Amino acid sequence: MTTEPKKKALKPIVLTSHPSGQSGVVFPITWGASDPKVRGPVIGTLTEPAHRNCIGTHSGAYSVYRALAVASGALSPLHRPDLTNTAPTSVIGPFESWYDRQRIVSLDPWGAEIGTHFADLVAQGYNIQPTIAVTRAHISIPEVVDQIRAGSIPVDGVCVGVGGECRVTKAAIEPVWFLPAVAERFGIAESDLRRGLFEHTGGMFPELVTRPDLRVFLPPIGGQTLYIFGDVATIPDLSTELTVRIHDECNGSDVFGSDICTCRPYLVHGIEECIKTAQRGGCGVIVYNRKEGRALGEVTKFLVYNARKRQDGGDRAEMYFQRTECIAGVQDMRFQELMPDVLHWLGVRRIDRLVSMSDMKYNAITRSGIEVGERVSIPDERIPSDARVEMDAKKAAGYFSAEGSPSEEQLKQKTGRGLDE
């Protein structure tokens, strides 16, 4: 006998697509203000709709799971987190870049210390939540442990422990977009940005087109994680060496070791360079962005893999980007224009060693006002054989390479494995 699920007593649905009877938002956000109280808190919580001053809600892509938890009855919609003892383990900022409404547009620079800057408002009942969390951890990377055992990386008891574990400061950052400045960053009108975000998410956020008074958007996308090796306080110091790798997520390689790309080998090389810099008295930073498959997603990525391997003539560099564009319509959707914001949050003014060959990342960083010294390529011996197609295609497209780009004839050669090999 089938049991009917119990139905909850339904409450009226409160639409947020138009302002309530109150005049204006309770806390207008003055993006770029040097005083956090003048700037105002970002309130994306749902316990008191009248307090909200932004579009969307917290937790990025995970906000949908929160909604599911509420709908299924696993989570009370009125739950408020107890933030006791959750303060950052390291103080970051504030820096001059925090006060520049053009320099940081995609994250809330004040989002890590809600308990410090907005304690009085929290005490009054405003449900203000952090969008940044900073902690400390030990990480153990098998390839790095091998380098330690081989003597390439010494155990110093500070950065590297006797078991091969590396001590790091970690920061998790949720996206917080200031729409007027995001539009300016892309060279488009704010109205066009809002309409595009509304229409091409299936109308998920009607406030984008009905609430011009709400200028901050919490998009349901992946955020970013920082892994910092060495003293965080030295990052803005121009007299201290700084090594940085900007890495975009690749689950297949980073986690499972797929050899069709250079993602994990280059990430590991970046971590090793960061450790060595910290051991020289400097600081190393890994920025890990949740932009799987050039922000096209894994389904698209795997479809491209099949198309590359099955095309006439086999998998070769000359067709590398075309196969992606045929399926996705574009070669890349990571939009590195927003990427330097996290560096400005850290107070970065100069990167001595940038562990990246990407021209898009380099150009975005330098255009944002950050100086770059040396560019560090992935060592040739770390490139998997099946990833030569990717590397040759990227070099031909403008990636930094001390050896130069491959010839047109080399790009036409079949160098990748077949699907059945």
- The catalytic residue positions are 332, 334
3-state secondary structure of 142: helix
Six-digit token pair at 197? 């975000």
Question: In whole angstroms, what separates CA 218 from the centre of its chain?
Answer: 14
Six-digit token pair at 9? 């007593």
Q: Using an 8 Å Cβ cutoff, are 107 and 341 in contact?
A: yes
Burial of 361 (0-12, 13-18, 19+ CB in 10 A): buried
Six-digit token pair at 302? 């795997």
Helix, strand, coil share (%) of the chain residues, nearest 5: 35, 15, 50
Q: Using an 8 Å Cβ cutoff, are 287 and 245 in contact?
A: yes
Q: Between the CA of residue 129 and those of 114, 116, 120, 122, 328, what are the distances in Å?
A: 7, 12, 13, 9, 36
Q: Using an 8 Å Cβ cutoff, are 144 and 268 in contact?
A: yes
